[in-house]
Structure 1
Amino acid sequence: MAFEDVGPDNEKGESNTSDYGELSVECPPHTTERRLMTRVDWHLLPFVTVLYLLAFLDRVNIANARTFNLETDLALTIFFVPYIIFEIPSNILLKRFSPRTWLSGCMFFFGLVSIFQGLVQNYGGLLATRFFLGLFEAGMFPGMWYKRHEAQKRYSLFFSSTSLAGAFGGLLASAIGKLDGVRNYSGWRWIFIIEGLLTAIVAIVFFFTFPAFPEESKWLTEEEQTYIKARLKAEQGNNGAERKLTFRDALTVMKDYRIWLGGFMYFGLIVPAYSYAFFAPTIIKTYNYGAIQTQLHSVPPWAASFVFSLLVAAVSDWTRHRAFFAIAPLAILIAAIGVLLSIHTNTTVEYAVLHLFTIGTYGVLPIIVCWFQMNLGGHARRAVGSAWQVGFGNLGGIIATYIFLDSDAPYFTKGYAVCLGFVIISALASTLYLISIYVENRRRAKTATNIGLSEYEETELGDLSPNYKYMY
């Protein structure tokens, strides 16, 4: 299959076309598109990366707390109930307000809830705090300002903050755990309190500095705002400040079977992703390490997945291709699970293969997300489709909380076998999605595309427009 592009390059080596034709606005003469997007990167990516890093850290630090004698099986599960239910509503509210207000507000409250998590006095209190943590973390997946062919590096940097959170969480927990007994608080309480306090403080800073919609960004000139709005509108339709979403929009989008495939692509990977996120310390502890050494040994696999993810993303953007880079890490993951199911007497090999497990899982997740979501044209389809993929996919998080049982230690055969089955589901859904967009692109190439649609009608159709080409 040929690699797909959004249009030919201009004399500056930059694209001035979209999925619907030439952009109506030229890049301001005092800059170039590449320089302008680099400025956007520096203003946007640090915020969303730190945002998701802290969100994921507060979400999974309960796994680190388990190694300091906190047992919470049901508490792992209850987080996902509001997280799944409120994913689409939260994304709609994100568009109704602004990213600065909504995301920083949610961030402050899930930081506050994390602090309360460290102060609970009974199991019921822990369940309540985990429920509200899931509620406030729903929708923590802000939209991007980029075209499809330039988005993967940005998505992977943002998404791979989960790997940084895993590595950072292990290091931080190993240090905070030494506070065990200070002011008569257990080490696991200090993990929640300190990490939650950090999140709440950063949220306050973000409220005054977080970038919003392009037309509300004061660090852009009026010409630059107009140009960025034009390039986004050409691919997505009207943005969140201009085109409000309704629940009727959501129901319309959900009639498309590809939206469902996108959910299963992500769903199958969330099971191994959260299995590792929640139970890595539990698994590594069976290699006969103490509590502190377990935390320290949990860092290298996360670091390996972070580096691999960014390398894959760079090559994927360079080739302007997604499918191969989604399927190849899945093959690595399947092979890694096969080894973990087979070898039980060599902890050195098992620990080494855990690196391949994280590389395969967290290397493919941002590719799957970017490939599917950036193929959704039109503001409504992208907003609803992306929320659906993340919300439905996180059903896998509920499954993950029940498959690595202490009674199955040290081999965890059941857990690895279940992970293997769900990875195969993701691979099957990804293959079907690839086939569907390939067939659709071929069909559109053979049929007339000029059917008298207005610009507004065409952008509202999004990727359902006869002129739209899906990216492989």
Structure 2
Amino acid sequence: MEEKKGEVKTSLAGENGHTQRFLEDELDGSSASFRGIDEAALVRKIDLRLLPVLFIVYLAAFLDRVNISNALTMGLPKDLHLTKDQPNIALTMFFIPYVLFEIPSNIAMKKLTPHVWLSACTCVFGIAMLGQGFVKNFSGILGTRFILGLAEAGIFPGSFYLISFWYKREESQKRFTFFWCSVLIAGAFGGLLASAIANMNGVAGYKNWRWIFILEGIATIVIGVCSFFFITDFPDQAKWLTEEEREFVRHRTGHDKTPHRPIDMKDIGWFFTDLKRILGAFMYWGIVVPIYAYSYFAPTIIKTLGYSVVQTQLRSVIPFAAALVGCIIVAYLSDKIGMRFPFVAFGLALAIVGLGILMNVHHHFSVQFGALCLVAMGAFIAGIAIVCWYVMNLHGHLERSIGTAWMISFGNTGGILATFTFLAADAPYYKKGYSICMGSICLSAASTACYALLILRERRSSRAVAGVSYSL
């Protein structure tokens, strides 16, 4: 490879107008240096090595996080003598460490390498899930939910952070959506699995809801151990690539032009000087509320429509399946036209329509169930489009390490609110819960519009430089 031409000192002023960073210029003749590499074959190789294992790990993580929603319809509250809002408090306990430790977790992953950190986290939350199957009281469920949140804190932002370094922007939506679909598969599979486990009541002396946690906990521990050997690290650490392939991956994604150094507190302060970087978390927060509200309470809501326990678990699969199809279609179209904003707007509109129906239509079960499908489709479509749009508009290890954790940690505070949206006292109409979800989506829509305007301004700005570009 030819020598670097040098460095360009580039001003990327934040709100205070004083920040300066250094970006290396393009390399002369770099494309000629990689003529022997089959780019399409290399991308397929990366897809197979990177995505399936992360998909399986996060499927386990999300399933372990929300399977309590199935257990709540099987007698968990009665057996643990939970009263009033204690089930909601148990759901909330997960989010306290989950929110607080996402930025530290990304920093730890960078130091320890992804295959070590992510696999260790998976084993720990698998053990916590297994332990949840043997709790005896409210304190026990709180303790296991806390450990579960602590261990899962690094999985979601860490995976998006890792994926973002392997692909070009125009390739990212399909890969992010493939990973995101693990959430939808977990939601659908959780309902199917719960409907089967519902018949295990009394097996080996344990209630059926305990078997949900025991079986899924054991499976998660196995996944965690295996993932140590299969999770890949960042491109410059990937031993399964040749040196030339590693350089090519960094070049084609633009990461050979950005600094790669440890993150300190000044970097974190610098990150928050740009309003665009701050808005990403508010876009995500607004959509997280209905996503978690649906994920945690869909079985409870569906049960109020008059179905049995098994029928409820089976019908909870359908909205997740509809959302899965919607996300796949949007991923293809989004990468094809190279835009995210129209699909974020489309998803938000679907969710708003669905919530509007649920707030105003009662005693029409088919209409209400259809509206639930609209909410699930809209929320999940908008959610992954927002994540991809925001993450791929960040540049280099510094911005993406802080930015992915910031967006997801702050955004997931919406999960705390979501756990209190659908209270037993509000059944069967849940007007307060639907109103909270509607308000949060409107906040996401407003933040999205502001973010889009700032991106448009940035694209037209004279401050735009080589290696720093923003997509709409």
TM-score, reference length from structure 1? 0.89
Counting only pairs closer than 5 Å after superposition, residues 81-160 of structure 1 correspond to structure 2 as: 81-141=96-156, 142=159, 143-144=162-163, 145-160=166-181
Rounded to whole Å, the distance in 2 between the matches of 1:19 and 1:357 is: 45
Q: Residue by residue, what CA displacement relative to the aligned partner does 1:386-438 show, whole Å, maximum 9, x if unpaired?
A: 10000000010000011101111111111111100000000000000000110
Rounded to whole Å, the distance in 2 between the matches of 1:326 and 1:222 is: 38
Task: Please report how far the alpha carbon of residue 70 of structure 1 lies from its aligned counterpart in structure 2 after TM superposition.
Answer: 1.6
Counting only pairs closer than 5 Å after superposition, residues 13-92 of structure 1 correspond to structure 2 as: 21=26, 25-26=30-31, 28-71=34-77, 72-92=87-107
Task: Please report how far the alpha carbon of residue 125 of structure 1 lies from its aligned counterpart in structure 2 after TM superposition.
Answer: 0.9
- Whether the 8 Å CA contact 1:75–1:126 is kept in 2: the answer is yes
Task: Please report how far the alpha carbon of residue 362 of structure 1 lies from its aligned counterpart in structure 2 after TM superposition.
Answer: 0.5
What corresponds to 1:292 in structure 2?
Answer: 310
> How many pairs does the alignment contain?
434
Deviation larger for 63-72 or 105-114: 63-72
- Whether the 8 Å CA contact 1:23–1:230 is kept in 2: the answer is no
Rounded to whole Å, the distance in 2 between the matches of 1:259 and 1:86 is: 19
What amino acid is the match of 1:58?
D
Unaligned 5+ segments in structure 2 are 1-22, 78-86
Q: Residue by residue, what CA displacement relative to the aligned partner does 1:86-135 show, whole Å, maximum 9, x if unpaired?
A: 01000110111111000000001001100001111111011011001000
Partner of 2:461, secondary structure, is helix
Identify if the C-alpha distance between structure 1 residues 353 and 19 changes in structure 2 by more than 3 Å, giving closer, same or farther: farther
Q: Residue by residue, what CA displacement relative to the aligned partner does 1:31-50 show, whole Å, maximum 9, x if unpaired?
A: 42222111100111101111
Task: Please report how far the alpha carbon of residue 20 of structure 1 lies from its aligned counterpart in structure 2 after TM superposition.
Answer: 6.2
Q: Does 1:390 align with 2:408?
A: yes
Identify if the C-alpha distance between structure 1 residues 295 and 24 changes in structure 2 by more than 3 Å, giving closer, same or farther: farther
Counting only pairs closer than 5 Å after superposition, residues 363-374 of structure 1 correspond to structure 2 as: 363-374=381-392
Rounded to whole Å, the distance in 1 between the matches of 2:25 and 2:423 is: 52
What corresponds to 1:173 in structure 2?
Answer: 194
- Whether the 8 Å CA contact 1:20–1:468 is kept in 2: the answer is no
What corresponds to 1:470 in structure 2?
Answer: 470
- Whether the 8 Å CA contact 2:60–2:186 is kept in 1: the answer is yes
Rounded to whole Å, the distance in 1 between the matches of 2:448 and 2:39 is: 32
- Whether the 8 Å CA contact 1:330–1:427 is kept in 2: the answer is yes
What corresponds to 2:284 in structure 1?
Answer: 266
Partner of 1:403, secondary structure, is coil
Rounded to whole Å, the distance in 1 between the matches of 2:186 and 2:135 is: 24
- Whether the 8 Å CA contact 1:152–1:317 is kept in 2: the answer is yes
Task: Please report how far the alpha carbon of residue 353 of structure 1 lies from its aligned counterpart in structure 2 after TM superposition.
Answer: 1.5
What corresponds to 1:308 in structure 2?
Answer: 326
Partner of 1:129, secondary structure, is helix
Partner of 1:68, secondary structure, is coil
Task: Please report how far the alpha carbon of residue 467 of structure 1 lies from its aligned counterpart in structure 2 after TM superposition.
Answer: 5.8
What corresponds to 1:221 in structure 2?
Answer: 242
What corresponds to 2:10 in structure 1?
Answer: none
- Whether the 8 Å CA contact 2:37–2:245 is kept in 1: the answer is no
Identify if the C-alpha distance between structure 1 residues 236 and 315 changes in structure 2 by more than 3 Å, giving closer, same or farther: farther
State which of 338, 346, 349 in structure 2 corresponds to 1:331: 349
Identify if the C-alpha distance between structure 1 residues 235 and 401 changes in structure 2 by more than 3 Å, giving closer, same or farther: farther
State which of 374, 381, 389 in structure 2 corresponds to 1:356: 374
Partner of 1:151, secondary structure, is helix
- Whether the 8 Å CA contact 2:133–2:210 is kept in 1: the answer is yes
Give RMSD over aligned pairs: 1.8
Task: Please report how far the alpha carbon of residue 24 of structure 1 lies from its aligned counterpart in structure 2 after TM superposition.
Answer: 6.2
- Whether the 8 Å CA contact 1:148–1:374 is kept in 2: the answer is yes
Rounded to whole Å, the distance in 2 between the matches of 1:165 and 1:250 is: 33
Q: Identical aligned pairs, as a percentage?
A: 44
Unaligned 5+ segments in structure 1 are 1-17, 450-464
Rounded to whole Å, the distance in 2 between the matches of 1:401 and 1:369 is: 22
Counting only pairs closer than 5 Å after superposition, residues 190-209 of structure 1 correspond to structure 2 as: 190-209=211-230
Q: Residue by residue, what CA displacement relative to the aligned partner does 1:200-229 show, whole Å, maximum 9, x if unpaired?
A: 101101112211122333332222122113
Deviation larger for 183-192 or 418-427: 183-192
Rounded to whole Å, the distance in 1 between the matches of 2:269 and 2:429 is: 44
Task: Please report how far the alpha carbon of residue 69 of structure 1 lies from its aligned counterpart in structure 2 after TM superposition.
Answer: 1.2
Task: Please report how far the alpha carbon of residue 185 of structure 1 lies from its aligned counterpart in structure 2 after TM superposition.
Answer: 0.9
Task: Please report how far the alpha carbon of residue 21 of structure 1 lies from its aligned counterpart in structure 2 after TM superposition.
Answer: 4.6
- Whether the 8 Å CA contact 2:320–2:376 is kept in 1: the answer is yes
Identify if the C-alpha distance between structure 1 residues 31 and 118 changes in structure 2 by more than 3 Å, giving closer, same or farther: same
- Whether the 8 Å CA contact 2:284–2:444 is kept in 1: the answer is yes
TM-score, reference length from structure 2? 0.89
What corresponds to 2:209 in structure 1?
Answer: 188
Task: Please report how far the alpha carbon of residue 257 of structure 1 lies from its aligned counterpart in structure 2 after TM superposition.
Answer: 1.6
Partner of 1:370, secondary structure, is helix
- Whether the 8 Å CA contact 2:25–2:257 is kept in 1: the answer is no
Rounded to whole Å, the distance in 1 between the matches of 2:310 and 2:25 is: 56
Task: Please report how far the alpha carbon of residue 303 of structure 1 lies from its aligned counterpart in structure 2 after TM superposition.
Answer: 0.8
Q: Residue by residue, what CA displacement relative to the aligned partner does 1:131-159 show, whole Å, maximum 9, x if unpaired?
A: 01000000213221111111000001111
Identify if the C-alpha distance between structure 1 residues 402 and 236 changes in structure 2 by more than 3 Å, giving closer, same or farther: farther
Task: Please report how far the alpha carbon of residue 357 of structure 1 lies from its aligned counterpart in structure 2 after TM superposition.
Answer: 0.8
Rounded to whole Å, the distance in 1 between the matches of 2:293 and 2:46 is: 35
Rounded to whole Å, the distance in 1 between the matches of 2:397 and 2:368 is: 45
Identify if the C-alpha distance between structure 1 residues 168 and 61 changes in structure 2 by more than 3 Å, giving closer, same or farther: same
